[in-house]
Structure 1
Amino acid sequence: MIDVSKKVIRAVEVLSTVIRGKKDVLEVVFEAFLAEGHVLIEDVPGLGKTTLALGFAKVLGLSAGRIQCTSDLMPADITGVSVFNPAERKFEFREGPVFNNVVLVDEINRAMPKTQSALLEAMEERQVTVDGKTRRLPVPFFVIATQNPFEQAGTFSLPESQLDRFAVKTAMGYPDVNFERELLLEKSAREVISEISPVLTSDDVANAIETVKGVYLSEKVADYILAIAWKTRKSEVFRYGLSVRGVLTLARVAKARAFLKGRDYVVPEDVIEVISYVAPHRLVLAYRYEDADKKEVVKSLVEEVEPPA
């Protein structure tokens, strides 16, 4: 475990040379990937979300695809379409951008609900069904979706069922002023990405994902996770608490956090550190608490649960 863990940590460090001052965000993305989940990044345009996705694929030696969502985007634009080949006198399937290891879905909330739903099967089942035929997606398969929290005209909010498909939700935020100054004086991030060599092989990536699955989760830590989940379910602040999928995802992401820390077991601190971006987007506020900050509420609920010794 130590060798593959060091390689993943090295990949984070290499990507940190491109995405300056955002190592904490990069770790979140890597943890979601290692937990076989997906990431939703909600932030204003121009903060490096696309660069992050391209750099992530490059440093892991994975293929990358990009989907720019618009109101007229159709499901076939994502999954692919069958085209008639007159020379062969038969239909041939042309794969869409979803047939890549890393798929950037830019401004996902600008796509119509019908198109958004085309991603559900891909994200959950790692497959798509086109013309009645099921086609497997590449392994690994990882979605990095973005949405703009402002300019809501012409957008379609993601339903709770789709939000629950994202292992984590995070934000990039503005860079530190010193890092931003360096960006002005140095090469563009896209140029730097083109010079990056993969840090991991495909076998390393597969090994890392399998190793994370084997990270030990004790009964005490499992009970701790469940106690937090039931706190959210019983809280009057939320209409809906953490789902079963949310509980399972919290455990997997906590395992990934332990892995990045070089441990083969989960401690309560891992759960505490990851819950702020695993849980809030899955929770629905009660009507009279609609102005509450879900992250702060979750933080206060976690503080009420005694962690195991």
Structure 2
Amino acid sequence: MSRRKKNAFFSVDWWSIKMKVFQPIYGSHQRKSEHTPSPCCNSCRIPYIFKHKPTECLFLRYSFHIRRATVSALLGIYILLTAVLAILYFAYQRTPTVKNIYHMCLCVLAIGLYIFCNTKYLATVRLLKIVSYIFWVSLFLLAFISLPLGPWITNQMSVVENIYVVEGVWQLMFVIYCMYLLLPVNFFVTLVLGCVVSLVHIAIILIRLQHITLMVQNWPQVMVNAVLLLVTNAVGILAHHISEKRQRQSFINCHAFFAARLEAQEQGMKLVKTTEMCLPKFMCNEVCSDLTCITTLYVPDKSSPSTMTLSV
């Protein structure tokens, strides 16, 4: 059994899958077979994922520790944010409120996730995905409580109050950006949630501005809020796409380098054995040392199948 098969990192046979793994998902050169999904399924696919399922699983194992560290760091920031918001609301109102208790519950949930994320029990990609989706729900709850729902929560619709158009905008921007860039969750679910939360915020502001005079006075700030939320969604989508593409590109380069290095070492071992069989013993040591230097300085050719790049 070769060294490549012994190593778990090379459980996928790199040389057999070749260009089939890294073909672009959208392309006219792709052969249609009986297993080809429908055009509707193709239109719903994420363009940067690997089409070969074992390779995608290998990439998830390769990036597991990086994603785990990212989720853990984001949980730490989230704990600090919710704790500070709970303390500020309590210091301002001088009494327990709905938002105060809400933020405290979110803080306790985040502390539990943070403790579990830093234990040895979180050792699989599936558990990390479950933790990420629970955290995703917690971020959604933070976005929901950040919406300007003051009169609906306090049941004081008839009371004339000061309307703050910028209420909850920075919380929504934080939640949207974190969901796009830092959480390993489904991209389309995050996209739908980001757009829906932004539209709901703008709609609630317009509903609360019932009088025309209030709407005329505050329409520039409403437009600024809409532009900020739109730009946040656009930047999140672009950053998510670039980040995922670069991670997969680095995975391909790393895998190709080690595969080429192992191939060079195998060829060097074959040459050494051939030299030992053909040359006298007093010449064998010098020739073997030269062959070892050649294999260590081996650089794979760019036209080799092992240096394939990801086409998106």
Q: TM-score range by the shorter chain?
A: under 0.3
Q: Which has more strand, going by share of residues?
A: 1
The structure richer in helix per residue is 2
Structure (1 or 2) with the larger CA radius of gyration: 2
TM-score for both structures, normalised by structure 2:
0.25
